Chains A and B, each alone.
Chain A
Amino acid sequence: MDTRTQSDLMLAIVVVVLGAAGTYLLLPHRHGVAKPRTMHIAGAILAGLGLLLFDMFWRPPGPFLTSLFFYAFSLAAVAGGLLMITTRNPIYSALWFASVVLSTSGLFLLSGAQFLAAGTVIVYAGAIIVTFLFVIMLAQMEGRATYDRAARSPFAATMSCFVLFWGLLYSLFLVKPPASVATGPNPAPPAAAMADASPNATRAPLTRTQDLGPGSVALARDLASRPTAQLNDAQGRPKPHVAGLGETLYTDHLVSVELAGTLLFVALIGAVAIATPKRPIRPGNREAAAPSPTVAPNA
């Protein structure tokens, strides 16, 4: 475990503590005798500090403009998510969720997944509009209802979630780049590669798909190693995006596509069956209660 990993882990502890404290103060619940607004400001400052420290872990992905967009999208995603779960009004929750979705689509674009970026925006735009309709239809109290002002056991929930976050950060920082990237644009120095072979195996190197051994992952490795599943063709040029994605989707993953279509159909039938209004069974209504005599009448 080198010094960078150790400093990263120390910083991760600070980030997790700051984020947990800020999120706990921002969640809706009674803060003793303190005024809610004071507690919200303190929580926002703590969570913002945690977020600023958290973005020190990120490495800029390239030239200035790419890095700028990456930082903007990532900050908007995490901050939007934090505000989504802490705001009282469900309408604002839906709006912040829209910011999360747009930022995630931007990150998809930056990682070369144009089709997914467009698909995410299209699918979630519909979902968010429907959610808006639901909020306007169902929640009339604009965040003043009791269940919007009282979180369910906020301390235990914050603790468990941020302990999980620390566990994720810890396991991520213990992964080191694969030693075989020496020909890549960011070659690992040979000294580090030598240190990998040392018995100090606390940092397991990330294995490339092609280097996975035989065993339980053989099917996944074979699927991912086919020429149709590669981002680049045999000459090393990138394939045209949607053409390449459709090629692998309809050759390697045809069963998954069919299963996904079936799942959509089943969900459509299920949603219609659930949401269709049924006539309520009244005590005197004999023919409504007659077809199902085993079910207790729901008067």
Chain B
Amino acid sequence: MAPPDSFTFDVLMSYLLVGAALMVLGMLGFLARRNLIVMFLSTEMMIQGTALTLVGFGRYHGNWTGQVFTIVILTVAACEASIALALILILFHRCSSLDVTLWQDIREPGQPPALVSLEESEAEPVEAFAGPESYPHLTPAGIEPAHPTLPWTERRD
């Protein structure tokens, strides 16, 4: 059976290539990033790549199956988003941080723990923004003046 219209094999191949690229980039983000929110977004991007592949296949074969499958995937993605964001909320409340390394106690048995101090030393150095952050720090001189004792919300002068 011929393709229904101008959606040829070459076009299908283009869709598959873009879907493969999105899938691989999402997997890289999930493996390499440590921020829980970015990891969640990376899984969503993997799902996008897969959905693109399915829609391309469905159109090429001339039936609705790919789109039906993508609708189911969309449902699963919505469920995953709700549960993942609830989990991120709970994990943040426990540790006050979005770092996934803090939860390495639940890793697979036999895996060596990631050293937080080592990861700290491998972090990218912070570049100070132009402005007050990049001003030089001067040594304070003289006697420290008396600070106002009232909080600023109650001061009237």
- Interface, chain A (partner B; CB < 8 A): 23, 27-31, 36-37, 54, 57-59, 61-62, 70, 74, 77-78, 81-82, 84-85, 88, 90, 93-94, 97, 100-101, 104, 107-108, 111-113, 115-116, 119-120, 123-124, 127, 130-131, 134-135, 138-139, 144-154, 157-158, 160-162, 164-165, 168-169, 172, 175, 177-178, 180-181, 183-186, 206, 208-210, 220, 223-225, 229-232, 238, 244-245, 248-249, 252-253, 256, 260, 263-264, 266-268, 270-272, 274-275, 277
Contact = CB atoms under 8 A, between A and B. Distances in A.
A231 B18 contact: no
A51 to B, nearest CB: 9
A185 B8 CA distance: 8
A160 B127 CA distance: 30
Contact of A70 (B14, B77, B90, B127): B14
B52 A107 contact: yes
B125 A30 contact: yes
A184 B2 contact: yes
A61 B11 contact: yes
A160 B51 contact: no
Interface of B: 1-11, 13-18, 20-29, 31-35, 37-38, 40-42, 44-45, 48, 51-52, 55-56, 58-59, 61-65, 67-68, 70-72, 74-83, 85-90, 92-93, 97-101, 114, 119-127
A107 B65 CA distance: 17
B64 A231 contact: yes
A138 B25 contact: no
A267 B68 contact: no
B20 A184 contact: no
Given A59-B10, A61-B10, 9 more contacts: A29-B122, A77-B18, A78-B18, A134-B85, A165-B20, A172-B13, A224-B61, A224-B65, A248-B65
A256 B72 contact: yes
B55 A230 contact: no
15 contacts: A29-B122, A30-B124, A30-B125, A62-B11, A93-B38, A107-B55, A127-B77, A146-B120, A152-B101, A162-B24, A168-B20, A168-B23, A249-B68, A274-B87, A274-B90
A236 to B, nearest CB: 8
Nearest to A220: B65
B17 A127 contact: no
B68 A253 contact: yes
A113 B18 contact: no
B25 to A, nearest CB: 4
Contact of A229 (B64, B87, B100, B101): B64
Given A81-B45, A172-B16, A245 B67 contact: yes
Contacts of B6: 61-62, 185
Contacts of A131: 37, 40-41, 85
Q: With a 10 A CB-CB cut-off, give which of B71, B97, B125 has the most chain A CB atoms.
A: B71
A164 B27 contact: yes
Name the 5 nearest CB pairs between A and B, nearest first. A85-B29, A267-B79, A59-B10, A184-B2, A150-B123
Nearest to B38: A93
B48 A150 contact: no
B26 A27 contact: no
Contacts of B55: 107-108, 111, 113, 116
A168 B124 CA distance: 32
A252 to B, nearest CB: 8
B64 A248 contact: yes
A224 B63 contact: yes
A113 B59 contact: yes
A186 to B, nearest CB: 4
B63 A230 contact: yes
Contact of A186 (B4, B9, B40): B9
A223 B16 CA distance: 23
A260 B77 CA distance: 11
Contacts of A178: 9
Contact of A152 (B32, B44, B77, B90): B32
A210 B42 contact: no
B37 A134 contact: yes
Contacts of A162: 24, 28
Nearest to A142: B129
